[in-house]
Amino acid sequence: MSLTTGGRSTDVSKRKQTGKARAVITVLDVARHARVSPMTVSRVINGKESVGKKLREKVMASIKALNYSPNLAGRSLRTHTAYQIGLLYSNPSAAYLNQFMVGALQESSLSGCRLTIEQCGGLDSQRVAIEKLLAARVDGVIIPPPLCDSKTTLTHLEEEGMPVVAFATGRPVAGVSSVRIDDYEAAHAMTEYLISLGHRDIGFIEGDPKHTPAALRSAAFFAAMEEAKLEVPRERVAHGLFTYRSGLAAAEKLLKCAHPPTAILASNDDMAAATISVAHGLGLKVPEDLTVCGFDDTPVATTVWPELTTIHQPVTTMARHAVKLLITEIQRRRAGEPAEGMHEVVKFTLVKRGSSAPPRQS
Amino acid sequence: MSLTTGGRSTDVSKRKQTGKARAVITVLDVARHARVSPMTVSRVINGKESVGKKLREKVMASIKALNYSPNLAGRSLRTHTAYQIGLLYSNPSAAYLNQFMVGALQESSLSGCRLTIEQCGGLDSQRVAIEKLLAARVDGVIIPPPLCDSKTTLTHLEEEGMPVVAFATGRPVAGVSSVRIDDYEAAHAMTEYLISLGHRDIGFIEGDPKHTPAALRSAAFFAAMEEAKLEVPRERVAHGLFTYRSGLAAAEKLLKCAHPPTAILASNDDMAAATISVAHGLGLKVPEDLTVCGFDDTPVATTVWPELTTIHQPVTTMARHAVKLLITEIQRRRAGEPAEGMHEVVKFTLVKRGSSAPPRQS
DNA sequence: CTGAAAGCGCTTACAG
DNA sequence: CTGAAAGCGCTTACAG
């Protein structure tokens, strides 16, 4: 008889097992160990109220003693909760997607659902990607930016009766659930921080205007500046597209002038990283000669030197929420309840790092 | 009675269903439709040989007609194949991990297994991360670089009897399965390409020497240069750590000298991107004044300007292979067969883009 | 080559 | 508050 790996031996070893597969503990084993019915074990696992304190404790002890963990396949089969969750993304900001994936995977392994990921580029491939998700029999779809704001995408999915969660959208729509941070408030807070450091000449790199969060960030920047009675002349603002490359061009526009700003706020980290690169190229020290701030706190924020002061968007946590929200929505529809978007706003954090400091002569 | 979404109505609609949940098609429905037993349907789905041509075709037609797809929960429950696959990563190169995830997810949704992802930093957190994976009851672990070469990690997992696949390691170990490209051959090909363009003064940025692929890439570069009877003086080689930042320092070392090289081969794309940035800062045009090549073809390769000539490593495909290999290995062990590493070498591609050209006076 | 029976591990629906 | 029975969808193991 084979040894059970590193554990006290239990009555489990008596179970008939084909070959040398190691014994798997089931509700039945726990039930026997605790001298209750499997149902009671099931109730305890699922946190149902209706179990007496004594039994509950006995069961919990047995679960611990046997090191039991439920078999998701069995549960899913019985409860029909093995949802396929689709992720439809278009802008392959690797770092962002990555953090998203970690959270989504965490939550889906807890709730027993599966993830399918589909990338798309233009409008055409968008249609194709959605068809693929439908063919993969997804029960709901999560859409990160910028697709989360695409009317085409949303309508297409709506028509198919597909539950959707818009991820990090800047403009939540009534019928579609969403998870996001308050981009406006975040950009406002960042601008106020720069002002509080003593900066007056602050340059701003806008994000892709098609992304709704970008619009909010811009609006908040201008609002905060106005509230502080600070002018923002046209040459202090540059357009960007959230890419590193667009950040290079934008930073050059802002810095190659007679009176460059003492601080630049970029609408995301990639463009802030590009700004640092341009500054260095021009012989400017960061943060001594120029403060540079980003947005999102993606890995690049801590890769560049100096590390970026930025807005931390808890993407992983948000992804977990998104999966939960989507499951709720799927179950709602299954139960025949009308679709009704739920909207969650998650807290951001302003992370101060080496790229920001008071201006030289403040 | 509710409409079935976009489909011809079938006898399925007669099935008793709680509430308005849409009808789900099972093997039974297909069997009825094809007038065979469920077993025959199952055999067809699983591609067993032993089904007559006539029946097989009837079943396939029914599957198509009913738009059937098997329920993974049912299958997993019966076949015990709902493996938990752990991914243990340490170096959060987002882009790389991302491509990996896409492939791993594709394969795992096909084979019905689940993914758990765990990050770790130093040695301490490595232990913790492995404990977490064990607690999550993973049945096997895939390890991307640089952890795939960590003796500590491998030993720890070995001791727990955990099947492992080393991903993109430069030094496959006998007992541990691996999936990789031939880094040596790839770096050799890239060096030969630069030489064929007419470059003689070629700078090289090494990767983190602790990463085995880095060592192979370096070795191949020197070998290819020697084969072409080209000297590589010490000032043509710079150390890097695969990070953008280390690339900046390395590129400066190579370029800020009396006779800078006409081409620089960096051991990965991040450092190549940094090299372009430094070159621009020094007023050098890429590729007119300086050819820059990378390695891996991560998204940054097509983000920077000009886009990078680089070695395409098909990470997504490799990830699919890794999952398959791991499943095979898990099943082997379950069947009591001895562990025996399988090693797969996947083809790379040399992708020529805008960052490479012949030297000015060739 | 094909099928009838049984059961994977769990929880729903019913009974007390 | 607790339990005995049944079944989710699939495939293994057996029988023909």
B277 shares its domain with B209? yes
Contact residues for A89 (Cβ-Cβ < 8 A; gap 6+): A97, A117, A118, A119, A120, A143, A144, A147
Tokens 């179990």 found at: A51
CA-based nearest residue in chain B for residue A275: B277
Asked whether residue A77 is domain-assigned, the answer is no
**How far does Cα A130 stand from its chain's mean position?**
21
- Which of B43, B70, B97 finishes a domain? B70
CA distance B62 to B60: 5
A25 shares its domain with A53? yes
Protein CA at B28 to nucleotide C1' at D9, angstroms: 9
A235 shares its domain with A270? yes
- Is the preceding omega at residue B146 within 30 degrees of 0, hence cis? yes
Protein CA at A126 to nucleotide C1' at C11, angstroms: 39
CA distance A273 to A240: 13
Q: How far is the alpha carbon of B354 from chain A, nearest alpha carbon, in Å?
A: 15
**Nearest nucleotide relative to B18: CA against C1':** C12
A196 shares its domain with A293? yes
CA distance A32 to A54: 16
B151 shares its domain with B92? yes
B139 shares its domain with B155? yes
- A177-181/B310-312 β-pairing: unpaired
**CB contact (8 A) between residue A298 and residue B94:** yes
Closest C-alpha among A38, A41, A84 to residue A61 = A41
Q: Does A284 touch chain B (CB under 8 A)?
A: no
Asked whether residue B200 is domain-assigned, the answer is yes
Nucleotides of strand C under 7 angstroms from a protein beta carbon: 1-5, 7-13
Tokens 């190659």 found at: A256
Q: How far is the alpha carbon of A98 from chain B, nearest alpha carbon, in Å?
A: 6
User: For residues A90 and A120, is the Cβ–Cβ distance under 8 A?
Assistant: yes
Q: Supply φ then ψ for residue A75, to 5 degrees.
A: -60, -50
Asked whether residue A3 is domain-assigned, the answer is no
- Is the preceding omega at residue B287 within 30 degrees of 0, hence cis? yes
Chain A residues with CB under 8 Å of B277 CB are 277, 281
Number of domains in chain A: 3
Asked whether residue A50 is domain-assigned, the answer is yes
CATH at residue B132:
3.40.50.2300
CA distance B43 to B52: 11
B128 shares its domain with B176? yes
Q: Supply φ then ψ for residue A122, to 5 degrees.
A: -75, -170
How does pLDDT run along chain B (362 residues), one tens digit per residue?
A: 333 333 333 333 333 333 333 568 999 999 999 999 999 999 999 888 788 888 888 899 999 999 998 999 999 999 988 899 999 988 767 778 888 998 999 999 888 899 999 888 777 788 899 999 988 889 999 999 888 888 888 999 988 889 999 999 998 988 899 999 999 999 999 999 999 999 999 999 999 988 899 999 999 999 999 999 999 999 999 999 988 889 999 999 999 999 999 999 999 999 999 999 999 989 999 999 999 999 999 878 988 889 999 999 999 999 999 999 999 999 888 887 877 789 999 999 999 999 999 999 75
Query: From start to end of A95-182, where are the E strands?
Result: 114-119, 140-143, 164-167, 177-181
Protein CA at A110 to nucleotide C1' at C9, angstroms: 17
Protein CA at B66 to nucleotide C1' at D11, angstroms: 21
Protein CA at A34 to nucleotide C1' at D14, angstroms: 35
**CB contact (8 A) between residue B19 and residue A334:** yes
Nucleotides of strand D under 7 angstroms from a protein beta carbon: 1-5, 7-13
Work out if B30's Cβ lies within 7 angstroms of strand C. Answer: no
Element (H, E) at A40: helix A38-45
Residues 158-197 of chain B with CB under 8 A from chain A are 160-161
Asked whether residue A40 is domain-assigned, the answer is yes
β-sheet bridge partners, residue B140: B85
Residues 37-66 of chain B with CB under 8 A from chain A are none
Which residues, given as ranges, of chain A have pLDDT below 70?
A: 1-23, 92, 362
B131 shares its domain with B199? no
Q: How far is the alpha carbon of A4 from chain B, nearest alpha carbon, in Å?
A: 12
B17: left (phi over 0), alpha (psi -120 to 50) or beta: beta
Closest C-alpha among A142, A106, A172 to residue A320 = A106
Q: Does A125 touch chain B (CB under 8 A)?
A: no
Chain B residues with CB under 8 Å of A298 CB are 94
CA distance B206 to B213: 10
Domain that holds residue A295: 183-313
Of A82, A245, A299, the CB nearest to B73: A82
User: For residues A165 and A140, is the Cβ–Cβ distance under 8 A?
Assistant: yes
Residues 85-104 of chain B with CB under 8 A from chain A are 92, 94-95, 97-98, 101-102
Radius of gyration in angstroms for the set of CA atoms belonging to chain B, rounded to a whole number: 26
CA angle A59-A63-A67, nearest 5°?
A: 170
Q: Supply φ then ψ for residue A311, to 5 degrees.
A: -95, 120
B257 shares its domain with B320? no
In order, the DSSP letters of B163-216 are: -EEEES-SS--TTSEEEEE-HHHHHHHHHHHHHHHT--SEEEE---TTSHHHHH
Q: Does B114 touch chain A (CB under 8 A)?
A: yes
Asked whether residue B353 is domain-assigned, the answer is no
First-last CA distance in chain A: 78
Q: Which long-range contacts (CB under 8 A, 24 or more apart) does B64-69 make?
A: B65/B8, B65/B10, B65/B33, B66/B10, B66/B12, B66/B25, B66/B29, B66/B30, B66/B33, B67/B7, B67/B25, B68/B25, B68/B26, B68/B27, B68/B29, B68/B30, B69/A137, B69/B25
Longest Cα–Cα distance in chain A: 84
Of B115, B245, B335, the CB nearest to A304: B245
